[in-house]
Amino acid sequence: MAIRRQGYEFDFVDLGNLPAKRLGELSERRQSVLVGADINDGFGVLTKSLYTEADEYIVLDYIGSTPGGFQRDELKGSNWGPRGFVNVILDDTAYYQTLDGRDYDGISGIGAPYPISRSYQPAYRTKIPIEIPPGRWWDIRYIAYNRIIDIPDAFTGTCSSFSPAVVNP
């Protein structure tokens, strides 16, 4: 079995070719960052699900996402932060779970930031490798809790029931 080291960086950039509804889904449910082309269930470039063959064994040394998104100036504007969470799916189970064993959205960008900087350091000192043995379906999912599409931008329709109160001086 050969050993190779590689990295993968998912960079979400709006090129103007996705409808607003599709962009909004990134804030509504976990999406694949690897798989997605032609299957409408992610933003990745691969066209089939990921499966480790009999001669493959994958070890993920580090996963992380862009930190930020809790401060007032990070919710909108030039300092916007996605408040993203990343999770690894092994077969039908999420790697990061709640204490009672339910699937969780993953590890936050504040707990595992990428890129690592002076302002944002990993919350744990040692790397926790995630092992994907042969014969497993796997994927990496991402969700951003700060909206990509602002609510007024996503509003379609009319508001006929709005009637402001008239105040007489």
Q: What is the pLDDT of residue 134?
A: 92
Say if 12 falls within a structural domain: no
Mean pLDDT of 131-153: 79
**Which residues form the domain of 89?**
50-147
Q: How confident is the model at residue 119 (pLDDT cuts 50, 70, 90)?
A: confident
Say if 102 falls within a structural domain: yes
Say if 168 falls within a structural domain: no
pTM over 0.75: no
Evaluate whether 30 touches 107 at the Cβ level (below 8 Å): no
Task: Catalogue the E-assigned strands of the chain.
Answer: 31-32, 50-51, 58-60, 84-90, 93-94, 107-108, 130-132, 137-144
Task: Using CB atoms within 10 Å of the CB of residue 35, give its burial: 0 to 12 exposed, 13 to 18 middle, 19+ buried.
Answer: buried
Q: What is the pLDDT of residue 39?
A: 47
- Work out the mean pLDDT of the chain and round it to a whole number: 75
Say if 32 falls within a structural domain: no
Say if 16 falls within a structural domain: no
Count the domains in the chain.
1
Q: Using the structure block, give the residue that is written with the tokens 């066209």.
A: 47
d(CA 13, CA 23): 10
Backbone angles phi, psi at 78, to 5 degrees: -70, -20
